[in-house]
Amino acid sequence: MSEAAATSVAPAEGVTGLVDDWTADKQAYHVPWGKAMMWIFLVSDTFIFTCFLTGYLNVRMTTTQPWPPQSEIFSLSMFGAPVPLLLIAIMTMVLITSSGTMALAVNYGYRGDKKKTMWLMTATAVLGATFVGMQAFEWSKLILEENVRPWGNPFGAPQFGSVFFMVTGFHGLHVSAGVIYLLWVVRRIWAGYYDKKGFEIVEITGLYWHFVDLVWVFIFAFFYLL
C-alpha cells in the first residue's frame, strides 16, 4: 500500500501501462503484495483443477463403456418423485449465496465497518460449512446406496467413480480450508490485528473464496450437467 502510494505520477493505462508495469525496476503489480501472491497461488490452483478436468475429459472420451446417467444418480426423492440433480442445485445456490456475502464483506471491510465485515465473513463460513455437509451427505449416499467406488460402479464406466471422488473431493477440501481461513481472519479482525494495517486481507480472503465458487461453476457444468 505504502509502495504504491510512493508513486508520484499516475501510472499509464492500457498497453502502455502494461509495458511500464512489466518493465518496471521495482514493482510490476500495483497491488498489495499479499494480493499479488494470492493471485499467483490461484493461477497455480487453476492448473491443478484444469489438469483434473482435462483428465476427466480424456477418460470420458476414451472409455467405450457408457457413462453413468449423472442426472438420475444425483437425484433426490421429493414427495415420492425423484427430482434430478436437486441436491447439486441446492449446493450450487448455497455456494453462490456465500460468494455474495463474501463480496459484501470485502466492501464493508474497505468502508471500515468491522462489525458488518465480521458478520458477513462468518455467514460465508457457515454457508461453506453447509456446502461441505451436503457434500458429505452426497458422498455417503453414493457410497452406501449406489455402491459407487473409485474403481467401479454398477452403472457403467468405472472412471465415473474415480473422477467423482477426486474432483469433488479436492474441491470439498478447498471449501473446508476456506472455512478455516475465513474464521481465522475473522478472529484476527476481531482482535484488532488489521486496524492499522488496513483491510486488504478481506479482499485477499475473498479472492480465494470466489475462486472456490468459480471452480464449482466448472465442475457443475462439466461433471454434473454434461
Partner 1 sequence: MASSDTAGQQHPLGIYYQIWILLFVVSAFSYAVDYFDVQGAMRWTLVIIFMLVKAGFIIAIFMHAFWERLALCLTILGPPGVLLLLIGFMAVEGNYTESARFDYMGHDRDAVALTPAEYHASLAEEHGAEGAAAEAH
Report the site for partner 1 in 151-180 (rule: CB under 8 A). 154-157
Calpha distance 85→72 (Å, rounded): 7
Given 87, 89, 126, 166, the residue binding partner 1 (CB under 8 A) = 89
Q: Which stretch binds partner 1 (CB under 8 A): 88-96, 113-121, 168-176, 183-191?
A: 88-96
Map grid coordinates 503489480 to a residue: 29
76 binds partner 1 per the rule CB under 8 A: no
Question: Residue 145's CB: how many other CB atoms inside 10 A?
Answer: 8
Beta bridge partners of 76: 83
Q: Do the Cβ atoms of 56 and 223 come closer than 8 Å?
A: yes
Q: Find the angle CA(26)-CA(31)-CA(33) to the nearest 5 degrees.
A: 70
Question: Residue 139's CB: how many other CB atoms inside 10 A?
Answer: 16
CB of 174 to partner 1, least distance (A): 15
Q: Which stretch binds partner 1 (CB under 8 A): 115-123, 172-180, 182-190, 216-224?
A: 216-224
Closer residue to partner 1, CB minimum distance, 99 or 130: 99
| Burial group, residue 23, by CB count within 10 angstroms (0-12, 13-18, 19+) | exposed
Residues 6-35 that bind partner 1 (CB under 8 A): 10-11, 13-15, 17-18, 21-22, 28-32
Number of residues that bind partner 1 (CB under 8 A): 80
Element (H, E) at 133: helix 114-140
Residues 42-61 that bind partner 1 (CB under 8 A): 42-43, 46-47, 50, 54, 57-58, 60-61
Given 114, 116, 149, 210, the residue binding partner 1 (CB under 8 A) = 210
Given 87, 126, 132, 207, the residue binding partner 1 (CB under 8 A) = 207
Site map (CB under 8 A) of partner 1, residues 105-144, x = contact:
-xx--xx---------------------------------
211 binds partner 1 per the rule CB under 8 A: yes
Q: Do the Cβ atoms of 122 and 114 come closer than 8 Å?
A: no
87 binds partner 1 per the rule CB under 8 A: no
Contacts for 183 with CB less than 8 Å, ≥ 6 apart: 122, 125
Residues 184-203 that bind partner 1 (CB under 8 A): 198-200, 203
Closer residue to partner 1, CB minimum distance, 69 or 133: 69
Question: Residue 166's CB: how many other CB atoms inside 10 A?
Answer: 14
